[in-house]
Amino acid sequence: MSTRRVVITGTGWITPLGHNVDSVWQRLLKGESGVDRVTHFDATTFKTDFAAEVRGFDLRKALGERTAAHADAGSSTQYALAAAKQAWDQAGLGPWASQGKLSRRRFGVYLGAGEGELDFANYARTNLAGWIDGENRLDAPAWARAAYRHMNPRREVEQEPNLTGSHLAEEFGCRGPSSNCMTACAAGTQAVGEAFELIRHNDADVMFAGGAHSMIHPLGMTGFIRLTAMSRRCDDPKHAARPFSRTRDGFVMGEGAGIVVLEALDHALARGARPLCEVVGYGSTADAFRITDIQPDGKGAQGAMREACRQAGLDPQSPGSDGRPRVHYISAHGTGTQENDAIETAAVKGVFGTLAPRVPFSSVKSMLGHLIQAAGAVELITCVQAIKTGWVPPTMNLADPDPECDLDYVPNAARDLNPHGGVDVCLSNSFGFGGQNDTICVRKFRA
């Protein structure tokens, strides 16, 4: 069966560095950090008291009068709605829809969204931070009484992980395929990849795809602290996220949303849309190893990258006609944990062979923090921007490289690749708890 070409016609994100694609991109190129002390709750007793929070967000500015329809939605859902509105506007779908030309049954949603909203501040007026950190004990009956008084019953519905996609479907009239995957830190990338497959196999014409998540609450942060996965560099939060550095000690929690409009090329051209880039490959594998650990040899990560390159028709170990590697930039998963960074480095070497040191390979988590299920989609948008501008963002805070991490991580300063031919092809990697590995390959669009 022949497959359709799939393009990205719109992008949107809500991030710790702002709420607009172009302005956030400029801040990333400047190496600015979105990390600071937690303000969403009292984290002073926590061993990690900092995160990359979304600040200054107002859904009314994004959706206007229709905000009331989503007033009870949690923060990650509201971030997704705002990001989707940006992508919708950039794709120019509004006029097409208003003329009745958008087939709603062929317009779907595929997200990697969180495990639901846990609004402890409204559920109970108690010192949850102190309890969770082990310095106090929860008075369960009192907490239950407080929760009963303060809990909005709509929150029970909003905790369902499919609700984020349902809100997008309601807002934009998406009556086609609707799915949500919960594959931890790989979810945003997997959602885009699966939506890509739906379109190219003619099960949809247009899809919202991406991820949204917020875990900056007592339970969310405590779990990762107990797993020893988060940085505890409380004396220097701005420089705590340091992927590939010898002194890295874990990731920094972030939050936000990234949404793209995926569209069949024939559909996009029929309505006069301008493709931002083309999605040309998707690889997905499972480590089948341990729930919280990456397969030490990185074979699962290699498999995802190789499959994405295979679908794109690329030989990663063979240079192009210009002598450069055929992939011009890799958006790293790059969490800043000891295991991830070393294994991802080894995986890239396994896929690209002798060309690996020549492929720019950076982690924007050094500035945005780790947006968990939103991370992959937000990082894919950095690839779209790299193709558009010819610049690639840096890995910040990389002053003391780990000898095991010896590739080109674009350390501490963005790089202009335009003098070398620009950016035509990118890979975006995401690896999640449970052993999920996903890679998307995007290429500059050519008719």
> Radius of gyration (Cα) for the chain, nearest Å?
21
Residue 445 in contact with residue 277, Cβ under 8 Å? yes
CB distance 301 to 347 below 8 Å: yes
Question: Residues 300, 285: contact at Cβ < 8 Å?
Answer: yes
Contact between 263 and 355 under an 8 Å Cβ cutoff? The reply is: no
261 forms bridges with which residues in the sheet? Answer: 10, 208
Q: Are 88 and 175 in contact (CB under 8 A)?
A: no
Closest CA to 209 of 234, 189, 226, 225: 189
Q: What is the helix, strand, coil percentage profile of the chain, to 5?
A: 40, 20, 40
- Residues recorded for the chain: 447
CB 368 within 8 A of CB 17: yes
Catalytic residue ranges: 185, 333, 370
H or E element, residue 27 = helix 21-29
Coil vs helix vs strand at 366? helix
Q: How far apart are CA 90 and CA 259, in angstroms?
A: 12
Angle at 260 between CA 435 and CA 56, to 5 degrees: 95
* Helices and strands in the chain, H and E counts: 16, 14
Angle at 16 between CA 304 and CA 210, to 5 degrees: 35
